Structure 1
Amino acid sequence: MSELVLVEDAAGIRTIRFNRPEKKNALTRPMYTAAAEALESGDADPAIRVFIIAGAGGIFTAGNDLVDFMQAPPHVGGGETPPVEHFMRALLHAKKPVIAAVDGLAIGIGVTMLMHCDLVYASPRASFKTPFVDLALAPEYGSSQVMPRMFGHVIAADLLLLGSTWDADKAARHGLINDVADDVEALARASAANLAAKAPGSLRAAKELMRRPSEGIQDRITLEGGMFAELLRSEEFSEAATAFMERRKPDFSKFG
């Protein structure tokens, strides 16, 4: 892994940390590649249950490094997969829960990636901005679709058209983040530990269902029913049921 992206595994939690604080954790091609590989290898490792994405030095990320960006402007869908697309695809397709811990600046793709995480926490120092139009560019990685669905058109326009800066309270009020805490990483680790103790197969199923495109409600009920029936036959459910009857906490540590 790149020294500019630190990867730490502990108690089933993989923390992926952007580590370029002297440049406000601006992301380069090697950093995107390192972060993508950390997600992909963790998704394939049964010992890893949850991801946390964070930044070093009290900064999440100022977005793309413009010098690196201009040296090789990415063209998504234009042939060879650029590193930024590799990272966003790894994030979008991660089967395991991804938590973001945002301290300080989150700009551009630093905001876009949050919409593809499962839980997002921020410190009171956090600020959020998507200056694509200000830079004479277009929104990226589904943000033009996901933001209006999340916030409604007029609120999404505040970010995507005006390029307004949101503080943590405004981000929480509109549903971009889950909660605000002075020690944002402690909150993220507590949630990650909670998730890491749950049945991994059930977590993957719930995340897959939540991330699926909209469909007819009866189609969704049928799909859920099939997954529910499959999980009823699983060893994970057997452990959960046995633990309930024995009045103890279930132990899912042996399941991958």
Structure 2
Amino acid sequence: MNDLITRDFNKGLVTLTLNRPDKLNALNNTMYSLLGDLLLAAAEDAQVDVILITGGTQCFSAGNDLKDFLDSPPSDMDSPVFRLMRVVMALDKPLIAAVSGAAIGIGTTLLLHCDQVLVSRSAKLRMPFVPLGVCPEFGSSLLLPRLLGHARAARLLLCNEMLSGQQAVEWGLANELHDDGEQCLAAARQLAARLQALPQDALRVSKRLLKDTHRAELEAAVRRESLLFIERLQAPETKAALRALVKD
């Protein structure tokens, strides 16, 4: 097993932990592929009831690995990052996120697709797409205005505003606030146990009903964003912004 993402299975709960601490759990193509594979395997495994994704107690994810994006940018809808998005959107098992520290870019937009999001006080959510010369992704241009209203969504997607863990709960991007990463992870596991105690078929049918009302619209938005994202990665201003941040 590639140790960039660790997998732990315990009594029906699969915990997937991003494990690239030297890069603040920034996601590269290898990790996108691996995370997609692990989520798909969990979706198809009859022994798995609930999926928990975390970056551990210090950092959730610094988002896309910028050097990887410069060296091997996604070029079509079959690229690992877009395949991962499709896998996440198709999940019918509960997906819980436990977030501590930085949750940047896709580290935040991924949370919009989780059924429950628990954060610690150290959590910092930010989507710096415009400063990097790109555009919103993973359906955030559709989901955030619906969840927060246009003005707040614009503060996050256009103005690059950062939210603390407490603000994320107050704004409705997270469900629970915990003092530290250990408490956050423990509470996420307790929540998973509550979900596991429920009738599983009914739980999955209910999740599908929650998601299906806007699935087609969401899939269309993700495709539209993704194609524009690919286009933006070739823009001179985007390449300049990325190179300015990437250290050899």
**TM exceeding 0.5:** yes
Match of 1:219 in 2: none
Distance in 1 separating the partners of 2:43 and 2:169: 28
The alignment's TM-score, normalised by the length of structure 2, stands at: 0.83
Q: How does 1:1-256 map to 2 (within 5 A)?
A: 1-56=1-56, 58-75=58-75, 78=76, 81-182=78-179, 183-214=183-214
Runs of 4+ residues deviating >6 angstroms:
none
Q: What is the Cα deviation at residue 61 of structure 1?
A: 0.1
Name the residue aligned to 1:224. none
**How far off its partner does 1:70 sit?**
1.2
Counterpart-to-counterpart distance in 2, 1:7 and 1:69: 25
TM-score normalised to the size of structure 1? 0.80
Q: CA deviation at 1:159?
A: 0.4
Coordinate RMSD, CA, aligned: 1.3
Q: Which residue identity does 1:6 align to in structure 2?
A: T
> For the Cα contact (< 8 Å) 2:14–2:42, is it kept in 1?
yes
Question: 8 Å contact 1:21–1:56 — kept in the other structure?
Answer: no
- Deviation digits for residues 163-203 of structure 1 (CA, Å, limit 9, x no counterpart): 10100111111100001112110110000111112111001
Q: Indicate if the aligned counterparts of 2:57 and 2:185 stay in contact, CA closer than 8 A.
A: no
Q: Deviations over 1:96-120 (max 9, x none)?
A: 0000000100000000100011000
Kept after mapping to 2: 8 A contact 1:13/1:49: yes
The CA distance in 2 between the partners of 1:171 and 1:24, in whole Å, is 20
Name the structure, 1 or 2, with higher relative contact order (CA <8 Å, separation 6+).
Answer: 2
Cα offsets for 1:27-52 (capped at 9, x unmatched): 11111111111111111111100000
Deviation at 1:210, TM superposition (A): 0.5
Q: Deviations over 1:182-232 (max 9, x none)?
A: 2110110000111112111001111001011359xxxxxxxxxxxxxxxxx
SS of 2:210's equivalent?
A: helix
Identity of aligned residues (%): 41
Distance 1:56 1:195 in 2: 21
Distance 1:137 1:47 in 2: 40
